[in-house]
Amino acid sequence: MTLRNYMTVLVIGLLLGLGCGESETPQAERDDYQPGTVEELECMPDLDGRIEADQLQPAFDVPINYRVSPAGHERPVDLAGYEDQHGVRVWDLSSEEYELADETLRVVAEPVDQRWYADEFAGADFVTVLDAALQIDAVYSHDGDTLYLHGYASAEEAPDIGQTLVVYDEPVVAYDFPLQEGDSWSQTAQVQDGLFRDLPYTAEEHYEFEIDATGELWLPDVSFQKALRVRTSLTIDSAVGNPVYREQVQFLFECFGEVARLVGPDVELEEGDEDEAYEFDRSVEMRRLGF
């Protein structure tokens, strides 16, 4: 008999012996298993093609990871997408062509009150990084109905590239909830006595927003149905030089917020130029939610 067989017989014998003897103490009854409490998610997408104010709230100190294109690297982009056999608009940003080149960008919403510039932005609540280099913070507030952009500032008070402090005369409406296809709005912000990399900065920054499509967005790690495509056009007319024009496209999804961002190159507008001629077919920054 092998040792393993011997141990098996011994264990069985011990169990049989225990079962044969008389016992004065009845066997204790066991309670039925009680599963732990499963907490409900604070936000659940309902795929109705709308994003309500409570489906796009800042979550403080919760990091969100993006795959981001390296600095100085432009990528071709197809913003039109295509219609599948069911007539659904599809944007395929899942290409593995960029996977090895991608870097990781971690974005965190944080309260503004600990920032060096906190006293400059009255009514602001929180900040997130504006640029992938983590050098500039965008300053926001959320009043339950509207997300406002108050301006932007350098993340450090005295960075090597010089301090930036741009405070809008009135907060710009970034998102006016609920968000849905067909919405559009615009606003011009005045900047007086600002700083941009330690240089005096006075300008008008004119924003135009449009939610122009709804569809399915494919990313390398995850896909989203009923994503909203938001186009933002910005024209900066400063006291020095010609106006500068740029476009940005974001894809938003309920409860997740921004799941992709494409930033087009800056274009200097000469006198007589029209921004309608701007062709957004390449990005200077591509962010995609992922690991």
- DSSP assignments along 94-143, one per residue: --GGGTTT-EEEEE-BEEGGGSTTGGGSTT--EEEE-STTS-EEEEEEE-
The secondary element (H helix, E strand) that includes residue 20 is helix 3-20
- pLDDT value, residue 16: 30
**C-alpha–C-alpha distance, residues 107 and 188, integer Å:** 27
pLDDT tens sequence across 67-96:
999 988 899 999 999 999 999 999 999 987
Q: Tell me whether residue 7 is in a domain.
A: no
Range 262-287 average pLDDT: 84
Task: Say which amino acid occupies 178.
Answer: P
Q: Tell me whether residue 78 is in a domain.
A: yes
Would you say residue 10 has pLDDT above 90? no
pLDDT tens sequence across 195-223:
999 999 999 999 999 999 999 999 998 99
**Mean pLDDT computed over every residue of the chain:** 86
- pLDDT value, residue 279: 84
The Cβ of residue 291 has, within 10 Å, a number of other Cβ atoms equal to 9
Would you say residue 249 has pLDDT above 70? yes
Q: Tell me whether residue 116 is in a domain.
A: yes
Alpha helices in 145-273 (DSSP H): none
Taking phi over 0 as left and psi of -120 to 50 as alpha, with beta for the rest, 46 belongs to alpha
- pLDDT value, residue 39: 57
- pLDDT value, residue 5: 36
Q: Tell me whether residue 256 is in a domain.
A: yes
**C-alpha–C-alpha distance, residues 200 and 240, integer Å:** 10
**C-alpha–C-alpha distance, residues 62 and 85, integer Å:** 38
- pLDDT value, residue 50: 94
Would you say residue 277 has pLDDT above 60? yes
Q: Tell me whether residue 33 is in a domain.
A: no
Based on the structure, what is the number of domains in the chain?
1
Range 251-260 average pLDDT: 95
CA distances from 2 to 7, 13, 16 (A): 9, 16, 21
CA distances from 216 to 15, 84, 94, 273 (A): 61, 10, 12, 35
Find the radius of gyration of the CA atoms of the chain. Answer: 28
Would you say residue 23 has pLDDT above 70? no
- pLDDT value, residue 37: 58
- Asked if 133 and 159 count as a contact pair (C-beta separation under 8 A), the reply is no
Residue pointed to by tokens 């403080």: 60
Read off the CATH number of the domain in which 92 is found.
Answer: 2.40.360
Domain hosting residue 208, numbered range = 50-289
Pick from 104, 103, 147, 106: nearest CA to 129: 106
Q: Tell me whether residue 40 is in a domain.
A: no
- Asked if 251 and 66 count as a contact pair (C-beta separation under 8 A), the reply is no
Cis (ω within 30 of 0) for the bond into 178? yes
**C-alpha–C-alpha distance, residues 129 and 133, integer Å:** 9
Q: Tell me whether residue 39 is in a domain.
A: no
Higher-scoring residue by pLDDT: 194, 240: 194
Would you say residue 103 has pLDDT above 60? yes
State which of 8-12, 92-96, 101-105, 139-143 shows the largest mean pLDDT. 139-143
Residue pointed to by tokens 């186009």: 231
Would you say residue 14 has pLDDT above 60? no
Q: Tell me whether residue 152 is in a domain.
A: yes
- Asked if 125 and 112 count as a contact pair (C-beta separation under 8 A), the reply is yes
Where does the pLDDT of residue 44 fall: very low under 50, low under 70, confident under 90, or very high at 90 and above?
confident
**C-alpha–C-alpha distance, residues 3 and 264, integer Å:** 73
